[in-house]
Chain A
Amino acid sequence: MIRVERLSFAYPGSGGPALRDVDLHIGEGELVLVVGASGSGKSTLLRCLNGLVPHFSGGTFAGRVQVAGRDTRTTQPRDLADVVGLVFQDPEAQSVAEATSDEIAFAMENLELPPAVMRRRLEEVLDLLHLAPLRERQLASLSGGERQRVAIAAVLAAQPSVLLLDEPTSQLDPQGAEEVLGALERLVHELGLTVVLAEHRLERVAGFADRVLRMEAGRLVGDGPPREVLGDSPLAPPVTALGRLAGWAPLPLTVREARRQAGPLRQRLRPAPAPARRRAHGRPLLEIHGLRVAYPGREALRGVDLEVAGGEVVALMGRNGAGKTTLLRASMGLTPASGGRVRLGGRPVAGRRTSELALEAGFVPQDPGAALFAETVEREVAFTARNHRLPRSAVAATLEDLGLQDLQERHPRDLSAGQRLLVALAAVLVAGPRLLLLDEPTRGLDAPSKQRLVELLAGRRAAGGAVVLATHDVELAARIADRVALLAEGELVASGPVDQVLSESAVFSPQVARVLGGPWLTVAEVREALEATA
């Protein structure tokens, strides 16, 4: 089905090749997972498979790629649309129409199919992805998961035999991600579609991939069954890392597989001391009492209490729309409170100017790249420094703290998602706030970037600062949070130490907790405990 021979590619004007000497062969009906850090070539590889590289991007292309018998060197991507389709990361940026059915029909209209055929295929595709009730809805009113499924439907309308997906769940919440991945699994099993999926979040996908390709710096360094490739890779879901640690064979890819072999490990861990949980010290930096926030038509927050003191990391978790973002925004005075009190640094937030509050708390909203506009990273951070009348030395210090010195002269929009997040962090941290508020920072981050983030947050905690982190990413919360506050429908339904809240919840528990039970949340904790008892 897909044959890649000695593929090498360099983007025009770039410093080096994006892909080096890739050879691979993918058969019909396989579900292939492509993993690798940002910049390793995953996206480029996918685009080579549908002709966007080299025809859309230009550049120097060596080697050969054949998809369903067609050679991409001589075929334009638009002429490959009926054999291979590509779904992108951002649900909102791919659409050309306002209503669902028009969006799905776009590909069919381009293929000049007769209207009767179009109507039939539209119904089929809506049924395949369980989208029938959304048929006449406006795209703007759909959730992220629904929009991505519409994007998949729009691509499938051309009836390709290969479906490529470039990090389709990275901008979605867990529910949306489940919808999309469930749909993919169904497509593979029912239609026999060949699916090539690039992903960072392996927890859900590792279980049902047939094959994993691992990319590093443009080279294909791993190609084989998941257990084999993920087994010795640093990019592995926590259960696999746990299995590696405990020496299980075969290495588990899902929680279910791990549970079967977990008995002896649980025994070993029984006498081990529970992992130490940090307690906050220092005066409270953020105090919220009885906070109510009302938007026209609904109440976003109903009487929430939260106190955050220096030396702790608090994770805010909950479904989409539960009020996490509203809580963070109310803490910064961006959203007026209709009831209750919010105090930042001991003084009420109401009536104070945002530029003044920014010295106490740094808020990085969702999509940190949205505010970047300068030509270099250094100037970006300097912009904030100038606004607050801070000396230039503060800029250099902040860049060093975050490890951004090498990237100083780069254009911020050229950077990867993880690097952009660091720049956004630098741009608020230069003002020297003790409290850091982050809204969904892990969108689009690869594993090394997440590790950097964890280290950074741990560093701030150690220095006496505090972090409030609104996130869907349970594994991240397990690694860094000390306390978790669970929101639902604007109310606080659970609040307490991380191990207590996460292991008690069925939905929000990390993989390690699901296998071993509380108080174990991460592989690192298990490793420490084993070393302690050894």
Chain B
Amino acid sequence: MSARTAQRALGSVGARGRLVLAVTSMIGLAGFAWPLLYGARRAGPDSAHAADAPWLFAVLVALLLVIVAVEHAAGRLTAKTVAVLAVLAALNSVLRLPGGVAGFNALWFLLIVSARAYGPTFGFLLGSFTLACSALVTGGVGPWLPFQMLAAGWVGLGVGLLEPVPRGGRAEVLALAAYGIAAAVVYDLVMDLWFWPLAVEGPLGFEPGIGLGATIGRFVAFHLATALPWDLTGAVGNAAVLLTVGGPALHTLERAGRRLRFQAVPELVELDQPATPCASPAAPGDVTREAPEEDELDRGGKPSDRRRGARS
């Protein structure tokens, strides 16, 4: 059995699921980018409400996350997916603690690798859960949390863009490292975009009616001044970790995924009619062979790479 088929921890995502993710992402983008759009418009008669915008959009984005949860999580998470999501979210949260792992900054590494191993939808959920868990652990729940959860979800979801890269081998790790840099930069950019209207006003802030170009220019100035040096070191750090540890981490996740058998479909053999299996056709990822006769169990199938469970 090739180890290189993608494992979809959440099962196949239907058209409706994809639509929900796409629409929520677009709305979420608006929730981040409203200052830019706002700046592009001409000033309206009552611009005092602009100050309320961040909080309004916080509620909006929170509701967005609820919608995604309703579509993808409610009633659809099996015990296996709950357990794996929880464990990985906890690990991610520990990696995000101040001080990181012995001083190394490894924020996105595990999320990206997990999304690659278990599917982009899984990655979206994992990103959101990670930030939620992280906020609860550090006591840092604030109006930024829905935005962080959404942006982290995007980091996980975006790994789906790397689907065409063949699995196993150097190309995959390089692609993940490149994605790691991009994702870190985009995340920081997007969270800075959230922070910008709160933190500044006046010449560096956004004002309605100055035009899109000027607004973007002001934001870029703000971003460069405040965050970019840290962003870049963080991004490069992530890429470095992915390059060195990413491959073995992927192996570990894929191995565990095989052990867990997210879509386990048992083959039930009737002893009286040896040639006819009882169950539905085995899912990809199960041993696909014809119905074994009774003593084929003794002969044993193909020589394995010894992935049999280590239980007694």
Contacts and interface: CB of A to CB of B under 8 A. Distances in A.
B297 A414 contact: no
B304 A15 contact: yes
Nearest to A407: B306
B266 A15 contact: no
A372 B286 CA distance: 27
Contact of B251 (A12, A13, A59, A375): A375
B271 A54 contact: no
Given A20-B298, A415-B310, A61 B268 contact: yes
Contacts of B268: 54, 61-62, 73
Contacts of A411: 255, 306
A43 B311 contact: yes
Interface in B250-284: 251, 255, 258, 261, 264-271, 278
How many interface residues does chain A have, given as a range? 35 or more
B75 to A, nearest CB: 14
B103 to A, nearest CB: 18
A62 B261 contact: no
B264 A56 contact: yes
A170 to B, nearest CB: 11
B308 A15 contact: yes
Given A16-B298, A62-B294, A414 B264 contact: no
Nearest to A37: B312
A396 to B, nearest CB: 21
B1 interface: yes
B297 A62 contact: yes
B209 interface: no
Interface in B24-80: none
B307 A13 contact: yes
A55 B80 CA distance: 12
Contact of B312 (A10, A38, A61): A38
B202 interface: no
A44 B297 contact: no
Contacts of A43: 311-312
Q: How large is the interface on B (under 10, 10 to 19, 20 to 34, 35 or more residues)?
A: 20 to 34
A12 B286 contact: yes
A58 interface: yes
A331 interface: no
A46 to B, nearest CB: 9
A17 B299 CA distance: 9
A12 B306 contact: no
Contacts of A446: 312
Contact of B306 (A37, A38, A414): A414
A54 B277 CA distance: 14
B306 A61 contact: no
Contacts of B265: 58
Q: Which of A12, A17, A42, A73 has the most CB of B within 10 A?
A: A12
Contact of B308 (A13, A40, A56): A13
Interface string A398-419: 0000000000001101111000
A41 interface: yes
A8 B297 contact: yes
Nearest to A446: B312
A73 to B, nearest CB: 5
A16 B300 contact: yes
B309 interface: yes
A375 B178 CA distance: 26
Interface in A410-434: 410-411, 413-416
Interface in A25-76: 36-44, 47, 54-63, 73
A151 to B, nearest CB: 16
B200 interface: no
Nearest to B292: A60
Interface string B241-254: 00000001001000
A36 B300 CA distance: 22
Nearest to B291: A60
A14 interface: yes
Contact of A14 (B271, B278, B307, B312): B307
Nearest to A36: B312
A14 B266 contact: no
A465 to B, nearest CB: 30
B198 to A, nearest CB: 34
B303 interface: yes
A414 B307 CA distance: 7
Nearest to A63: B271
Interface string A299-318: 00000000000000000000
A11 interface: yes
12 contacts: A10-B301, A14-B308, A15-B303, A15-B308, A18-B308, A41-B312, A43-B312, A56-B264, A57-B309, A62-B268, A62-B270, A411-B306
5 closest A-B pairs by CB: A54-B266, A14-B308, A58-B264, A62-B269, A43-B311
Given A42-B312, A59-B267, A62-B271, 11 more contacts: A12-B287, A13-B301, A15-B303, A15-B308, A18-B311, A44-B311, A56-B261, A60-B269, A62-B268, A375-B251, A416-B310
